[in-house]
Structure 1
């Protein structure tokens, strides 16, 4: 009669025939190969081979004699030893997963490695960005937000614009309000850059033609690593995201400062309001006091019939005042 193992030792990788044999030896201490063969319906030679395999696993013990007899080892000791051995093998295999993945990427997906590159270190990122700009042919698309790793290279941008490269940049309000930043932006705008602003941007981003894009690996106060993407559907998606934010943004004022008249500065006030500037930031940009800005904001809101600053910016845009 054949014993049923129920898969009790299947998790240890023990074949079903060995499991049946072990269970039979458990039920019949000091059994012989011939007796076991009769119980399991197999030949004595087959029973000998199964018992030898179980002995090697430490699950049964052979007792010399004529005929030789076998008894089962205590399961709590023998099976536990097999479990520990199996766990060690699994841990070793898990440790090799990263090695296997490297081989997989090299042999199975060589094209993926060509599409994505990680650039580490601020100097390397700055150099790669310069190389990307040098290779620009048609357009440059930028999401500008902190952190910055270098000052704007106005001469390089002028050379790009001079050879017909269209540059469009969306600046985050926090970037524009940084000391000296607006003067840099005005320089490149005067040279031909198209600049707009928004209160917040999803990430830093630089795109060149339909060939390359670079963005940070992770957000943070320091730019330590960047991802360089080449032509792909992901690059197309990033271009679509840029266009969506570009159409929502408001223009950067051509000139801001106390030299302008109060009427002109109120127009600039609307632009800065729409971009999410605070009263203190607006006051610094326009060269007036925060109290003056607050008074102008109330006057603009009253004139437009707006109940909030944001609403005033939206209504000003609809009225063509921006």
Structure 2
């Protein structure tokens, strides 16, 4: 099966686009909509989950939802750039995914007031985090399976944008093996969570200018009121300052740098630096820089170094 420029085969692309049409899908319903067997559909869904393009629903444990293109696609391209095997590009594939990314980004300002579900909240947060500039705070009073708080895609996008990430979890959250695994991954990204005995509410606060807030009945709303945001930010600051480091997730001394070198090379290339200048900045050889640029050109189906930089920005990679 031929692959698109970012490494998805046509079947996976079809299913992903279908997922984007509804808030969530159960496998039998999706199979009927596409005209496939359930087993075939389930296998493609599993591959999309592995690639970070799909996620378990926070509202229905038997359903799957699409991860928003504005954070899923940059992460997918980054992984393709790091893989040993080169993807086989197909003309115009990357343009189609850039269009998906841009349409998702255009919806960032749509969410106001109440949201209907956990999945709507997750999609809203994914779109908003693609525009975060300074920082994002997570307040987590308890573990809920399948929710955005354990999303690597969300965290990865915030870190890629150079934002400060702070997560304060109630101590009960650490009893979940999934949460502990995520905490260890966060520590490897140099953004370990902190633990508090109790966290009074569930919220995600972005740049101090917008938040997604959950009340006791798990009703969800978008907060843009300056006065309410000021109170939420003050609460996040207090909880972070009082929170304790999680001993089991201390960042290893040999952990990798926050961003892969290949992404940094692309960013510096887009800023106009030469290969020699990039090599000096990163302390590596010119040959290494050129290899990274070549891999990026393949992953982004680009015909020139300049086009690779432009496409990396268009798809949200840098």
| Structure with more contact order per residue of length (Cα contacts < 8 Å, sep ≥ 6) | 2
- Structure exhibiting the larger radius of gyration computed from Cα positions: 1
Alignment TM-score, normalising by the size of structure 2: 0.40
